[in-house]
Structure 1
């Protein structure tokens, strides 16, 4: 019979072990099994090879103590095959998230509002916008930049937790806020498409009045439109997921080039005199009178700000397993934040959950599933590029709730390890698949959420696992959130 004991050694995922301190009075227990130590938290197989290899670790954040709970499920009772036909990872991401997600609703709202304003402008019922197509396009670019600015969103997430992370705030307000903040990418993509609409409108007006418009200005405008369209096409979901490196580089460099040309366009437009068909000299006094100047300046500031924090820092990379590497950095980080690292800052960036306990250091666990992450195992670097402004994501919003059920499978546990390293006021369930078999994670989640009266469930898993858990919780009237795979 396995011995029940308090243990300071917890095994993590992909053959990588972590040391987790057991705090006095904590009710964190594990049942020691005869399985390999590396199987306690997650599967050793790569998620992209077998997405059904799910294990469940659940933690509840609560102000009350709970009794330790040990899973005693018989291995033979666990389902061996998926109950429905297996789908590819890509089809789940693109097709199985529903037509009415908050992300898509925000996208439609942005398009609808801009389309309504555009129709009014073309019919002469919106006089202000009739000859300001370029300005409306810049407004949309400013909005989409705000929606993806990690520095701005860090502040927004912090304000949301401070404002709504109180016991007396209704749960519906908290979950609505979580849905909105998680789906701000819908504003980014919606405003991106809307900016193209306004650019086309502005170009049509310029071509109609080409006798009073410089051919150089029209040429620059066409170049901007082409670059913005290229950037948007690269972000199309199918391209983004199948050729992510192509998307990232095209989106970045096409966007930067368009922004550079936008400055040229603004300066030429302000300096051009239609009556004399020549360019007059510009002064700061002239420039600051135009909204286009100020909004473009703000866009540049938002884009440059994160790059001002980019540093090349020493790292310690170890690979206890061929399936993953541990990247160690100096300095502690608040729980729930994520970070970006890069071997070449102009070409690629990779985001990972941050594991941090104390103020001395923090770590990232990178599963070897791509070219960069595999190179960390085969050829560990001594330095990496980092953005020192860490950004907030869904895990950070855990701080908004009183009772949260965290569900993690595979390397998804890394996002929650910072919470596990904190003093635990209640229970942790560790499902050992080598002893207990493959669990029905969605059923386990619903049962645990009901047992602990959790306010919300947050899951980090592969697309199929996340979808199943979220769908099961929603069917049971339990608020649940998981990755939306929008980047």
Structure 2
């Protein structure tokens, strides 16, 4: 069955507010507005939205888009917005988003704690090695560098994370497991990017230390090995610089391509380094020991093999598939693929697989087809509307992100703005262990998303009436954070998960935490 056929007939005259008040789609003249203005408002009609993605999933290159539909925030009135210069508005939005991404998430987030923990442990090891208290590390610094590279690779392996998320839900998604344990596991899994970054920085330190050791013992280390190791270090430094938040935020395509190709080049040189290091005999100053028997006993060879396997594992499932792209309006497109997909999973698509990949939430009833909803906020997503593709490149391994962890809880509230609804839509169509409720705030829902999408949200049997649909074109701009807190309290939710732009997600998560309700939303480098 096609996912759109899941929608049931419904009355289109009213939406429900968070406080149990019904609003007509065409309010009576003179009736007061019961919605309250907010500093965050996801409007699909905002043509000045920048390309900043909403990160809620994980990627081996770095976390990228879950849905390109969370749109820029505008703190001024509609009248001022219409008269303001486009360049000034976009610059203001970019500064605001970057500030939220880098500063407003706090100094002691789980992500930063994991980063500090990884760097601290490696620093202790380095200090002990340098002072002679850790002889093995002193003699095998390159092995420690490769160990960190393997760890950061595993943190971005879609197949590995799929298994890890499944295990988390299986082990901790039991009724008797305390909510505090579940939220702790959720916070750690969402913040594995901190391990990725921390191990990346640590690998540079270990490799630099290994180079220093090699230069101090030039009589035992051939120049070829030193040269290759120096090239690897240079490529890894370049890759790390491209991943610096400011560069990544303002030039995402540059980051993605540099991170990928510099990493692949460093991996190729790593094999050269392993072979040269294993085969060199200091006694004869030649490569007399370069035999298979010697190579298979080398730890660094097996580490290089593991790094290579997990790096290219996602690429083994890449294929070009036919798609059907339907533009609901000039602001959103629905892309349909063959094959059903479980709820909570995300997928990646590309027009040019070696150039850039974009991740989106998946809408599916897990039967014959699945779909992705893309809002027009960047060049890639706008092109899906102006130039609808007939084929796209996809990765066959769908990865698990934050929404997948909803299956761990007994009761949860989903908060979505704009096309952020797409990451939750599969939950409305498929049975699952959690008792869910939904708050969806968007502009021009029928016009931008289609009647089927609206009907699916409104009539979901799984929600059993626990749904709030707020059309801002009719009801005005709401305080989404207040809606979230009220909905979570009303339905007794154990956790709130939000998909919105950085400002909106921050406000919802902050308000829920102040109200004593665990909440999670997109973070930088999930």
Question: Given the two structures, how large is their TM-score scaled by the length of structure 2?
Answer: 0.79
Give the 3-state SS of the residue equivalent to 2:219 in structure 1: helix
The reply to whether residue 486 of structure 1 matches residue 525 of structure 2 is: yes
Residue 26 of structure 2 corresponds to 34
Cα distance change of structure 1 residues 80 and 477 upon mapping to structure 2, 3 Å threshold:
farther
Q: Counterparts of 1:235-274 in structure 2 under 5 Å?
A: 235-274=243-282
Give the 3-state SS of the residue equivalent to 2:313 in structure 1: helix
Residue 303 of structure 1 corresponds to 311
Q: Residues 278 and 289 of structure 2 are in contact (CA less than 8 Å); yes or no, is this contact kept in structure 1?
A: no
Question: Given the two structures, how large is their TM-score scaled by the length of structure 1?
Answer: 0.85
CA separation in 1, counterparts of 2:48 and 2:234? 35
The reply to whether residue 43 of structure 1 matches residue 10 of structure 2 is: no
Q: Deviations over 1:199-219 (max 9, x none)?
A: 000000111111221111110
CA separation in 1, counterparts of 2:50 and 2:302? 51
The reply to whether residue 150 of structure 1 matches residue 166 of structure 2 is: no
After superposing the two structures, state which structure 1 stretch, 318-327 or 98-107, moved more. Answer: 318-327
Please report how far the alpha carbon of residue 420 of structure 1 lies from its aligned counterpart in structure 2 after TM superposition.
2.2
CA separation in 2, counterparts of 1:19 and 1:95? 44
The reply to whether residue 234 of structure 1 matches residue 234 of structure 2 is: no
Give the 3-state SS of the residue equivalent to 1:212 in structure 2: coil
Q: Counterparts of 1:172-321 in structure 2 under 5 Å?
A: 172-280=180-288, 282-321=290-329
Give the 3-state SS of the residue equivalent to 2:352 in structure 1: coil
CA separation in 2, counterparts of 1:419 and 1:440? 25
Q: Residues 23 and 424 of structure 1 are in contact (CA less than 8 Å); yes or no, is this contact kept in structure 2?
A: no
Residue 371 of structure 1 corresponds to 379
Residue 54 of structure 1 corresponds to none
Q: Residues 257 and 356 of structure 2 are in contact (CA less than 8 Å); yes or no, is this contact kept in structure 1?
A: yes
Unmatched runs of 5 consecutive residues or more in structure 2: 17-22, 28-40, 52-75, 79-91, 431-460
Give the 3-state SS of the residue equivalent to 1:431 in structure 2: strand
Q: Residues 281 and 289 of structure 2 are in contact (CA less than 8 Å); yes or no, is this contact kept in structure 1?
A: no
CA RMSD of aligned residues (A): 2.3
CA separation in 1, counterparts of 2:328 and 2:299? 56
Give the 3-state SS of the residue equivalent to 1:273 in structure 2: coil
- Give the counterpart of 1:468 among 500, 503, 507: 507
Q: Residues 29 and 428 of structure 1 are in contact (CA less than 8 Å); yes or no, is this contact kept in structure 2?
A: no
CA separation in 2, counterparts of 1:190 and 1:23? 51
Cα distance change of structure 1 residues 50 and 113 upon mapping to structure 2, 3 Å threshold:
closer
Give the 3-state SS of the residue equivalent to 2:132 in structure 1: coil
CA separation in 1, counterparts of 2:393 and 2:507? 36
Q: Residues 46 and 323 of structure 1 are in contact (CA less than 8 Å); yes or no, is this contact kept in structure 2?
A: no
- Give the counterpart of 1:445 among 484, 490, 498: 484
Unmatched runs of 5 consecutive residues or more in structure 1: 1-16, 36-40, 52-78
Please report how far the alpha carbon of residue 95 of structure 1 lies from its aligned counterpart in structure 2 after TM superposition.
1.1
Please report how far the alpha carbon of residue 178 of structure 1 lies from its aligned counterpart in structure 2 after TM superposition.
0.2
Q: Deviations over 1:293-334 (max 9, x none)?
A: 111101111112111100100001111211121111000100
Q: Counterparts of 1:125-140 in structure 2 under 5 Å?
A: 125-140=133-148
CA separation in 2, counterparts of 1:372 and 1:446? 34
Cα distance change of structure 1 residues 374 and 471 upon mapping to structure 2, 3 Å threshold:
same
CA separation in 2, counterparts of 1:46 and 1:459? 20
Residue 71 of structure 2 corresponds to none
Residue 383 of structure 1 corresponds to 391
CA separation in 1, counterparts of 2:118 and 2:15? 49
The reply to whether residue 399 of structure 1 matches residue 399 of structure 2 is: no
Please report how far the alpha carbon of residue 378 of structure 1 lies from its aligned counterpart in structure 2 after TM superposition.
1.1
Please report how far the alpha carbon of residue 49 of structure 1 lies from its aligned counterpart in structure 2 after TM superposition.
3.2
Cα distance change of structure 1 residues 50 and 284 upon mapping to structure 2, 3 Å threshold:
closer
Please report how far the alpha carbon of residue 89 of structure 1 lies from its aligned counterpart in structure 2 after TM superposition.
1.2
Cα distance change of structure 1 residues 442 and 406 upon mapping to structure 2, 3 Å threshold:
same
Please report how far the alpha carbon of residue 48 of structure 1 lies from its aligned counterpart in structure 2 after TM superposition.
5.5
Cα distance change of structure 1 residues 386 and 365 upon mapping to structure 2, 3 Å threshold:
same
Cα distance change of structure 1 residues 210 and 42 upon mapping to structure 2, 3 Å threshold:
closer
Residue 165 of structure 1 corresponds to 173
CA separation in 2, counterparts of 1:162 and 1:47? 43
Count of residue pairs brought into register by the alignment: 433
